[in-house]
Structure formats: structure tokens, C-alpha cells
Amino acid sequence: MEKNDMEVLAEAEYFNKLADKWDEIREVDDVKLSELVQLLHLKQDDEVLDIGSGTGVLLPYLAPLVKTVTAVDFAAHMLAKAQEKCARFSNIFFSVSDVLAYEPERTFDKITCLNFYPHIRDKRLFVERTDLLLAANGEITIMHDLSRQQVNDIHGSSAEIADDRLREAAAEAEIFQANGFSVKRIIENDSCYFLQLRKNRKQAYQKS
């Protein structure tokens, strides 16, 4: 079910209220995140778009490995925390934006999405946006450092995000495959969720 604009604003405000204590209540598993980032096979000249950056959990793992990282989030207070924490990195840029309306003047080699994908209100529109945002043969990786069941249990315990469910990776992959992406890797187990897809189009997606 798609969310309306008021629901999206309410969800952004939900995360804004959690910004000051998010890093205290959300434990970071350094080993697991490092392993997930290794699977991205990043290159020094890669320009990366990190969607749903929140307080910047993934950013310190990405920045030393690539040319630039652009961090996008619809919750301004969360992203402000990320900017504060990552001040030592000169190659991270920040944009408060709903990714479904985000229109930069360039494309990216890689898109990462850690612990955010279930909150995207329109998955099909997101795939179309992803196609426009990625360079030819670019890749998007949707990942969680928790299992799908853990993600859904956490979301189900809060009224504001109870409907933000994570489906099986193979089911999510079908939406991308229908829009010119191929599956590069799927890992779904008791400790993580990892869906990596490659854009096969040489040209950007054009809506008919």
C-alpha cells in the first residue's frame, strides 16, 4: 500500500524525534557492516549515492573507499547528526530530500540503501528513480544488518512504521527485473539481508 504525503511527513517527523538518541538505541555491528561493504566491491573512482542515510551509520565505511558519497534522507535532524559525525570526511555531501523527488544534475556509479528500503512509499516509482539516478551498468544494493524477520518485528512494534514491511529479497528483485535490472547477488539469512542489482540499460529509463 502506498503512503500519502501526510503519512510520509509523519514518518519523517518520527525519525526526526529519534535523531538525538538514535545512535544510543541502534547498536552498530562493525564487523557485519564491514563485511556487507566488502560485498559492494567499491572502486576508488566510484561516486556513491547513499539513500536513507539517517545519522550516517554507513557513511564512514563508504567514504574512505570511493571518490564521493552523497547522503540523502528525508529527516533533516537525522541527516544533521550524520553531517556532524562525518565532518572529518571532505568527500561526503548531504541533501535533505525525499528520494522519490530527488533530482541531482548527475548520475551515480553505486547506490546504497541500508535499513531504509521498507520506508519507501512507492517501490515501483523508486525503481524508476533508481534507473534515472544510476549511470550505465550502475548498481544498487538494498541491505539490512538484521534479518528480514527482525526488521519486520521492529517495525511492527511502532504504530508510525508498522506498515513498512520488508518482503523476501527475491520478491523485491522482481520489481527491478521488470525495469531492466539483473540480480547480481542475494543473501538472506538470520543475520542480514542483501539484495544487489545491476542496471543493464545503456540509456536512462523513459516513462511511456
Give the pLDDT of residue 65. 98
Answer whether residue 75 is part of any domain.
yes
In a domain, 104, yes or no: yes
Q: What is the pTM of this model?
A: 0.87
pLDDT at position 175 is: 94
Q: What is the Cα–Cα distance from 123 to 87, expressed in whole angstroms? A: 32
Q: Report if residue 140 sits inside a domain.
A: yes
Could you state, in chain order, the average pLDDT of each consecutive group of 10 residues for the chain (208 residues)?
56 61 71 96 98 95 98 91 95 94 94 94 93 96 95 85 90 94 96 96 45
Residue 204: inside a domain, yes or no?
A: no
Which pLDDT does position 9 carry in this prediction? 61
User: Is position 206 within any domain?
Assistant: no
Residue keyed to cell 572502486:
43
CATH number of the domain residue 73 falls in: 3.40.50.150
Range of the domain at 27: 5-199
- Report yes or no on 205 lying in a domain: no
In a domain, 128, yes or no: yes
Q: Is residue 207, in this structure, part of any structural domain at all?
A: no
Return the closest-CA partner of residue 153 out of 142, 167, 165, 144.
165
Asked if residues 82 and 56 have their Cβ atoms less than 8 Å apart, the reply is yes
Total tally of structural domains belonging to the chain: 1
pLDDT of residue 20: 60
End-to-end alpha carbon distance in the chain: 23
- pLDDT confidence of residue 51: 97
Maximum distance among all Cα pairs of the chain, rounded to whole angstroms: 46
